[in-house]
Amino acid sequence: MSVYWNSRVKNLSPYVPGEQPREKKLIKLNTNENPYPPSPLVIQALKKAADDDLRLYPDPACTELREAIAGRYGVKPEQVFTGNGSDEVLAFAFGAFFESGPDHLPVLFPDISYSFYPVYAGLWGIPYKTIPLADDFSIDTDNYKIISGGVILSNPNAPTGIALSVDRIKQIAGFLKKNKKILIVDEAYIDFACPGEGLSIIPFCNECVNVLAVHTLSKSASLAGLRAGFAIGSAALIEGLCRIRDSFNSYTMDRLALSGAAAAIRDEGYYKTVNKKIIATRLRVSSSLAALGFKVIPSQANFIFASPPPSSGISGQALYAALREKGVLVRHFNKPRITDYLRITIGRDADMDVFLQICGEIIRRR
């Protein structure tokens, strides 16, 4: 606290990111990074971009990257916005589409979801209301068909990993459209949903003009360190995002990020292979944890949300600490309904085997 802080800064409650440990020896399963490297074509593009042209500002319209994304997802480049990680895109979307001030209707999101949503609402002074998940942690979409200031959902949800069908998403969008409000669908983990489920709202963004889909390259494109994310929606929504960005910083993506991200988007094949491996590991680890007596929430993401068997008498916090002691870092959220759960990022098979073995030892020791 400082006397020089204005009331805005005093009243913020910033997001606390998962730990990035200095110790290299830890098995890091705490921030949903991809355990596999980015496509070799990305590294090649980054090396090529590291040249004398760095003296020049990057393309403020991010044309090459937006065209690559538009081509991959079958939309027009005017329907694509890109930014410095999807966190930035989400922050801009809150600023562009949700009203600020206590006289406005609250924006709705689940009580258990991405913990950055209340932070963005706080930053912009947007009123919000959280809607409890059902006892099985699923989202009852009927709860979102009420008069509100708009809705944001993560699909699959984080940290539960449970996904909603496109039909359910469309129903919420249809309701909101009647009241001229928007639905933001944060699809950070959609590439890890089982193939063929068709869960993304992107193919429907021409008919759902009040829906903004937000993606990140941090998880499924192995590029958390590059900072790249994007949104797809109607051209008018994208223009709204540009108005916020250009009132803040015209160059949120640098030359390296623009080149590397475009190369990643173009190399769909490489990432399909990598993420198929992660899905297979997720299924295997889920059954192994269930065999140990864990309660495992069925996940469509690159993480598993699970709680230790009650008979072990070990709390979520204690299991987190015991794993850390043994060199495995997972994520524990000290929040009322989920305090006995851990969120475990899916890593390489060998690392997951170490994790499973240590879990078994800890449970049996009790």
Residues in contact with ligand PLP by CB under 6 A are 32, 85-87, 114, 154, 158, 186, 188, 216, 218, 224, 229
Least distance (Å) between residue 29 CB and ligand PLP: 14
Of residues 141 and 154, the one with the C-beta less far from ligand PLP = 154
- C-alpha–C-alpha distance, residues 346 and 30, integer Å: 9
Of residues 84 and 288, the one with the C-beta less far from ligand PLP = 84
- C-alpha–C-alpha distance, residues 70 and 61, integer Å: 14
Least distance (Å) between residue 95 CB and ligand PLP: 16
Of residues 33 and 58, the one with the C-beta less far from ligand PLP = 33
Least distance (Å) between residue 43 CB and ligand PLP: 19
CB proximity list for 120: less than 8 A, separation 6 or greater: 90, 91, 94, 126
Question: For the chain, where are the alpha helices, taking DSSP H only?
Answer: 7-11, 40-49, 63-73, 85-97, 116-124, 166-178, 235-245, 255-266, 268-291, 316-325, 349-365
- Do residues 366 and 326 touch, judged by C-beta distance below 8 A? no
- Do residues 121 and 107 touch, judged by C-beta distance below 8 A? yes
Q: Measuring CA to CA, which residue among 185, 214, 215, 190 is closest to residue 302? A: 190
Half-sphere exposure of 331 (CA within 13 A, CB side): 24
Of residues 34 and 259, the one with the C-beta less far from ligand PLP = 34
Least distance (Å) between residue 89 CB and ligand PLP: 8
Of residues 32 and 286, the one with the C-beta less far from ligand PLP = 32
Chain centroid, CA 302 distance in Å: 11
Least distance (Å) between residue 126 CB and ligand PLP: 17
Of residues 184 and 314, the one with the C-beta less far from ligand PLP = 184
Please return the burial class of 242, using the count of CB atoms within 10 Å of its CB with bins 0-12, 13-18 and 19+. middle
